[in-house]
């Protein structure tokens, strides 16, 4: 059962990713907005593929950041309202299809309760923190909507810019240097975050 579910998820992810990348090529910045909107709501698309591809085909990183941040925030709002209107039962219904487990939701709930808006901000900034889980959980907890939008938007800006910039530089075949720089930036940001305010944030 789990293997078939994973295979179906992977197939959907591949389909949606290819579709969105085609949108970016044909529509430019608006395609980025649509892709990030879908990725941030409940559709299985890797944001890294969207943002790096946009930079790679020549869309200015600033433009990608603007469109991507707007799309990502709008998509997060969808996740928020799914959680707010559906409550915990909705997680039981759609969670398995998005690999959102009860353990991850409980973990996200604990972080939102402990760190408030800071948890939302970090979930947007750091790539490996589950974005959708925090959006839906924030809705379930009825987290202040204005703060949710503000912290989401502020968190996705540096993420969008960094990945778009990496894509723009890949044209010049500087992949090794850029990957190293990207990893360094993320690690430094993570260390400062953990040291100053979010001690224990990543402990499940």
Chain segment 5-28, per-residue pLDDT in tens? 445 545 666 666 677 777 787 888
**What residues does each domain of the chain span?**
2-196
In total, the chain counts a number of residues equal to: 204
- Residue 158 has what pLDDT? 92
Q: Say if residues 47 and 79 touch (Cβ distance below 8 Å).
A: no
pLDDT (tens digit, 9 = 90+) per residue, 25-70? 788 889 899 989 988 887 777 788 888 888 888 899 999 999 999 9
pTM of the model as a whole: 0.73
From 44, 141, 39, select the one nearest 91 (Cα to Cα).
141
pLDDT digits (tens, 9 = 90+) for 114-149: 777 888 888 888 766 667 778 888 888 888 999 999
Mean pLDDT, the chain, whole residue set: 76
Tell me the backbone φ, ψ of residue 126, rounded to 5 degrees: -95, 120
């Amino acid at each position: 059962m789990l293997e078939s579910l994973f295979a179906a998820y992977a197939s959907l992810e591949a389909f949606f990713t290819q579709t969105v990348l085609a949108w970016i090529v044909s529509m430019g910045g608006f395609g980025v907005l649509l892709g990030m909107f879908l990725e941030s709501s409940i559709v299985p698309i890797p944001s890294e593929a969207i943002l790096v591809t946009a930079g790679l085909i020549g869309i200015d990183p600033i433009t990608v950041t603007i469109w991507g941040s707007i799309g990502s925030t709008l998509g997060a709002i969808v996740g928020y309202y799914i959680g707010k209107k559906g409550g915990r039962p909705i997680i039981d219904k759609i969670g398995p299809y998005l690999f959102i487990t009860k353990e991850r939701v409980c973990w996200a709930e604990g972080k939102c309760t402990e760190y408030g808006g800071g948890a939302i901000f970090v979930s947007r900034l750091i790539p490996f923190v589950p974005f959708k889980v925090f959006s839906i959980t924030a809705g379930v907890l009825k987290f202040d909507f204005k703060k949710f939008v503000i912290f989401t938007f502020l968190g996705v800006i540096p993420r969008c810019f960094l990945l778009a910039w990496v894509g723009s530089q890949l044209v010049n075949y500087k992949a090794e240097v850029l990957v190293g720089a990207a990893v360094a930036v993320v690690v430094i940001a993570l260390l400062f975050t953990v040291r100053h305010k979010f001690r224990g944030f990543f402990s499940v």
